[in-house]
Structure 1
Amino acid sequence: MTTTVTSHRPRPAAQPESLRTKRLPRYAAPAIALAALLVAAVVVYGAGIGGPVLVVVLGALLYLVGLFVAAKAVEGPRAARNRTWSALIHSAFVLAVLPLASVAWTLISKGVERLDGDFFLTSMNNIGARDPNGGAYHAIIGTLEQVGVAALISVPLGILCAIYIVEYGRGKFAFAIRFFVDVMTGIPSIVSGLFVLAFWVLIVSPWFNDGRPSFSGFAAALALSVLMLPTVVRSTEEMLRLVPAPLREGAYALGVPKWKTILRVVLPTALPGIVTGVMLAVARAAGETAPVLLVAGGGAAINFNPFENNQSSLALFVYQQAGDASRYAPARAWAAALTLVALVLILTIAAKLLARRNRLGR
């Protein structure tokens, strides 16, 4: 006779009701948001006091109040405060993204109209007010040359200045450099243009132009480099300070000279942040109008030589076309603005990928 033994697993003890956490269902937040928008729409449009913007603002306020009340009733005051602050953080993120999305959508929707071969391959030379053709080829060339020359001037100087401040600078001289860099950070762009106009265009350029002042793309690059330099210095300085001290100390312990430690250890470690700062400076320089207008003069013809004659830029082209009386000018202005943003975006992505590749290669 066989006896079958049946094992019974003990059931888990029931959790006391007081220890259970009550939570709002997942559909509660969307339902509250929808109800808040409906109530706001009824109030705003019923009273005739506003439009969609006021509906969204009032709906957001009602949503926060409704979410807090519902969470407090179900989950308790602590969870209600947590949900409310989380909703505020998400709302702040949406408010920060909305202007950027609006600008991007406006640029794309209005700028795509003139993005054709004629826009990229022709200039505004001999283009009249009734001519729908004409492009920004001359302005694209001017922007690339001016920003490129300005970067060649400001990036090495800025990085070397930051290295001196972080690695070598001590005492009053380093303090003076930091002070003047901070002052230069707040200089308006038109002041840098006036400085280059008074110094280079009116004093130096006549030596090379038979005694006559001469506008040029190089003068615009000098003005842009004045604006780029403090941004490069400050961003590079902060990135170099973030490099851990044990990396330097380990190199010194192996007998590596200080200059080689900076070149082979410190700079590669800080390279991604340095590239970000440089691209911020490039983006600012590419969008400046006043310095180019003051010292480069602008122009409708293509000029590949940045050291002679007038030269335009995309920012100046947008400014000129936006104020033109021709009915074809606004489309050119929007297309040029979209081209400028796309150009800066492409340069930023390329610089990031290059910096990442170099870092992985090491």
Structure 2
Amino acid sequence: MSTLTTAPSDSRLHRRLTNAQLPSWAPAAVAAVSVALGCGIGAAAGLESHLQWGLISALLYVLIGYAVAARVEGRRQAKDRLATSMVWVAFVLAVVPLAALTFYTVQQGIGAIDGEFLTHSMKGVVASMTPDGGIYHAIIGTLEQVLLATLMAAPVGLLTAVYLVEYGRGRLARWVTFFVDVMTGVPSVVAGLFILSLWNIALGFQYSGFSGSLALAILMMPVVVRSTEEMLKLVPNELREASYALGVPKWKTILRIVLPTAIGGITTGVMLAVARITGETAPVMMLVFGADFINSDPFNGPQQSLPLYIWQQYSMVNNDFGYARAWGAALVLIAFVMGLNLIARGIARWRSPRTGH
């Protein structure tokens, strides 16, 4: 009976191999064999890092997959499977560090997060001698500074992108594009020094959350311009031409047709820009100056922020309490960035144009 039941499956496998086609489970089998061989080689060679084991396994996966495909399916199909294998390896190499970072941050920081940690500041707390204190003042400062920077950078970046896509022609557009490209690569410390020299030293304004927001807006603006520009270019020209054919002015076409069509991508780009500036430390260190108390007024006096708080707590040498607070703040910061991305996806789905059936 067992011979009768296994014979059809064996014949199907034989037909697949004779027709120069690997079975669907072949990549998974190659991956399992590669991982086993990679771990064995790493253990035999005395390599202590599991990362080295993983790299050996990835290399074996690509080589073994190509060799098996070339043997069964031919060299042409083997090249296609080689490209696919390299894509999968690149995907894993990108995901594994992210997953490891998230897991390690949760592991180190979850123990420090409680109600007191989220609702108290560091005022009056001797940071090196007690587990007390929290990040409430840093959360307030981060939210206000990022919000102010977004209110300044997002409209300017959006209007600049609209100009470049819809109106930009000639020398002025080329210069604007050039300066946007230059600003994209400006280090955060340079933006902080510029605001420090102009706003605080030349104009005489004091350290405040708003000063840091100015530097963050400089860093955020080119990201908004570039992402919005690409989204506007994806809007089909047929929509614009149909609107013009109906006699709708260009400005109203942009407002009623182009922007609503691209609003999902624009929102996502703005949220990515917000996530990019949320973790900046250098401008905040130079302009906001940090504080251990709650300051809800971003225009007067120094403020705290989560990145600066993390740096200050972790810079305390041989201080387990400071390390715990730093990891807890890092976990809150990651959760904040993830929340922004979820909000962006929700807004994109809500405001994206819907087509009828």
**TM-score > 0.5, shorter chain as reference:** yes
CA distance in 1, matches of 2:86, 2:38: 18
Root mean square deviation of aligned Cα? 2.2
Residues 161-170 or 282-291, more deviating: 161-170
Structure 1 stretch displaced more, 295-304 or 18-27: 18-27
C-alpha contact 1:139 1:317 (8 A) present in aligned 2: yes
Residues 140, 257 of structure 1: CA spacing in aligned structure 2 closer, same or farther, 3 A cutoff? same
**What residue number does 1:165 align with?**
164
How many corresponding residue pairs? Answer: 339
Distance, in Å, in 1 between the alignment partners of 2:68 and 2:344 is: 49
Q: Deviations over 1:227-270 (max 9, x none)?
A: 11111111111211221111111111111111111100010111
Matched, 1:227 2:219: yes
**Equivalent in 336, 346, 351 of residue 344 of structure 2:** 351
1:301: how far off? 0.4
2:219 and 2:277 in contact (8 A); partners too = yes
Displacement of 1:49 in angstroms is 5.1
**What corresponds to 1:297 in structure 2?**
289
Change over 3 Å in CA distance of 1:328–1:353 after alignment to 2: same
**Mapped partners of 2:16, 2:223: distance in 1:** 58
Q: Does the CA-based 8 Å contact 1:158-1:229 persist in structure 2?
A: yes
1:342 to 307, 313, 335: 335
Tell me which residue corresponds to 1:313: 305
Q: CA deviation at 1:160?
A: 0.9
Check whether the contact 2:208–2:299 (CA below 8 A) recurs between aligned residues: yes
Distance in 2 (alpha carbons) for counterparts of 1:49 and 1:27 = 30
**Contact 2:264-2:347 within 8 A present in 1 as well:** no
**In the aligned structure 2, how far is the partner of 1:70 from the partner of 1:229?**
50
Between stretches 237-246 and 300-309, larger displacement belongs to 237-246
Judged with a 3 Å threshold, the aligned counterparts in structure 2 of structure 1 residues 248 and 44 are, in CA distance, closer, same or farther, namely closer
CA distance in structure 2 between the aligned counterparts of 1:191 and 1:166, rounded to whole angstroms: 29
Cα contact 1:162–1:236 (8 A) shared by 2: yes
- Alignment partners' CA distance in 2, 1:286 and 1:44: 39
Residue 16 of structure 2 contacts residue 22 of structure 2 at CA under 8 Å; is this kept in 1? no
> Residue in 2 aligned with 1:285?
277
State the partner residue of 2:11.
none
Q: State the SS of the aligned residue for 2:293.
A: coil
1:127-146 aligned at under 5 Å gives the runs: 127-128=125-126, 129-146=128-145
Which residue is equivalent to 1:3?
none
Matches within 5 A, 1:319-334: 319-325=311-317, 326-334=319-327
How far apart, CA to CA, are the structure 1 residues paired with 2:172 and 2:213?
28
Pick one of 34, 43, 46 that aligns with 2:44.
Answer: 46
Question: Corresponding residue for 1:263?
Answer: 255
Residues 1:114 and 2:109 aligned together: no
Deviation at 1:190, TM superposition (A): 0.8
Gap regions ≥5 residues in structure 1:
1-16, 207-212
In 2, are the aligned partners of 1:45 and 1:51 still within 8 Å (CA)? no
Contact 2:121 2:133 in 1 (8 A): yes
The CA distance in 1 between the partners of 2:55 and 2:81, in whole Å, is 19
Bigger CA drift: 187-196 or 82-91? 82-91
| SS in structure 1 of the partner of residue 297 of structure 2 | coil
Bigger shift: residues 323-332 or 122-131: 323-332
Counterpart pick for 2:91 among 90, 93, 112: 93
- Residue of 248, 265, 273 corresponding to 1:273: 265
Paired position in structure 1 for 2:191:
192
Gaps of 5+ in 2: 1-14
- Whether the 8 Å contact between 1:190 and 1:290 is mirrored in structure 2 is yes
Aligned letter for 1:98?
V
C-alpha distance in 2, partners of 1:27/1:243?
41
Identity of aligned residues (%): 48
1:236 aligned residue (224, 228, 249): 228
Segment drifting more, 39-48 vs 309-318 = 39-48
TM-score by length of 1: 0.87
After TM superposition, give the deviation of residue 360 of structure 1 in Å.
4.8
